[in-house]
Amino acid sequence: MDFLVLFLFYVALVLIGVVMICICSKTRYLKGLVRGGAQIISYIIPECLQRAMLKLLHYLFHTRNHIFILLHLVLQGMVYSEYTWEVFGYCRELEFPLHYLLLPYLLLIVNLVFFTLSCVSNPGTITKANELSFLQVYEFDEVMFSKNIKCSTCNLRKPARSKHCSVCNRCVHRFDHHCVWVNNCIGAWNARYFLLYLLTLTASAGTMAVVSTVFLVQLVVLSDLYLETYVDDLGHFQVVDIVFLIQYLFVTFPRIVFMLGFVVMLSLLLGGYLCFALYLAATNQTTNEWYRGDRAWCQHCPHVGRPPSAEPQVYRNIHSHGIWSNLREIFLPATARYERKKN
């Protein structure tokens, strides 16, 4: 029974980790997968349950709510509780360096600071008061962003690189994406907080994975378990191999092994998304622009009207000015620099 509970718990955590990355980095492949899955489900699940699921999904992903913030904190609390109660205690008995064991807690504190800032900070909401200043920050490329386009909802002129968020019901300057895990848009003014939040979250998961792995390896080495033999199902003596060691550790420390599997999976997923986010920052792109730009051609931009017979316009990133300038723009938003010059 304990094995079944732990197995379901692990599967749920891994799935949530996968969903976390998929939500933050929406791609057309994910949308195609979702559509295909929805078609299959429509033949299996009754229509009344489908409607209930659609309402739930609409509430979770298309309205502002604190569900994912609470889920984030619960998951983080569960992982750190397991690390504290088992890994930390065993490692202290094995005389691991204290600063080595306390590093995940330091990363947790820093991560929670940037998580809070990502949740509560203004991403760069465009209003009547700041509309004119935002219009002068970025140049219009006339391919992805055109002049004199008004937001039909806010009735404001749309600055270059801005977008109306249907979840928050506001236009956001240098809009990147809406993240359900922080219940906020990611824009010009809080992109630095989100990037540091993602960096520290990845580092904390990776650090716990390293500490847990080193503990298990040292346990095997100190016990000389890798030198032992065992009798297989046929009655033959076999030298202990890696598969047997994993099985033994799983039976002896099931919760630690499950936690290790989760943080390793999460480290890989978060690490992949962090690399993507750093690439966008280094090239001065947003997730919205990367998705719409289709890498080289902007042939599907819904806001750019042109005759069907017209040649497709080449999209060129005119906002990239070198990696250091691009990174500096994340941590010192262009709007802030403009307003200081103006004053």
Q: What is the pTM of this model?
A: 0.81
Q: Are residues 272 and 327 in the same domain?
A: yes
107 Cβ contact list (under 8 Å, min separation 6): 200, 203, 204, 207
pLDDT digits (tens, 9 = 90+) for 106-161: 999 999 999 999 999 999 999 999 999 999 999 998 888 888 899 999 999 999 99
Q: Are residues 217 and 274 in the same domain?
A: yes
Q: Are residues 212 and 282 in the same domain?
A: yes
Domain assignment present for residue 84? The answer is yes
Of 34, 62, 90, the last residue of a domain is 62
Domain assignment present for residue 35? The answer is yes
**Terminal-to-terminal C-alpha distance of the chain:** 67
Please report the pLDDT score of residue 322 as a whole number: 92
Average of per-residue pLDDT across 23-39 = 53
Catalogue the active-site residues: 179
**Greater model confidence, 129 or 35:** 129
Q: Are residues 42 and 71 in the same domain?
A: no
- Provide the domain limits for residue 217: 66-124+174-298+319-331
Q: Are residues 55 and 70 in the same domain?
A: no
Q: Are residues 47 and 108 in the same domain?
A: no
Helices 254-282 and 67-82 cross at an angle (nearest 10°) of 130
Q: Are residues 198 and 275 in the same domain?
A: yes
Q: Are residues 25 and 110 in the same domain?
A: no
Domain assignment present for residue 342? The answer is no
Average of per-residue pLDDT across 47-55 = 80
Q: Tell me the C-alpha distance between 104 and 111, whole Å.
A: 10
Q: List strand residue ranges (DSSP E) for 120-245, in order.
A: 163-165, 170-172, 177-179, 184-186, 229-231, 237-239
Using alpha carbons, select from 140, 196, 152 the residue that is nearest to residue 318.
140
Domain assignment present for residue 91? The answer is yes
Number of domains in the chain: 2
Domain assignment present for residue 184? The answer is yes
Q: Are residues 179 and 118 in the same domain?
A: yes
Domain assignment present for residue 314? The answer is no
Q: Are residues 106 and 34 in the same domain?
A: no
Domain assignment present for residue 74? The answer is yes
The answer to whether residue 28 scores a pLDDT higher than 70 is no
If you count them, how many residues does the chain have? Answer: 343
Q: Are residues 223 and 286 in the same domain?
A: yes
Please report the pLDDT score of residue 2 as a whole number: 45
Please report the pLDDT score of residue 23 as a whole number: 46
Domain assignment present for residue 164? The answer is no
Query: Per mean pLDDT, which range of 31-35, 43-47, 180-184, 322-326 is the poorest?
Result: 31-35
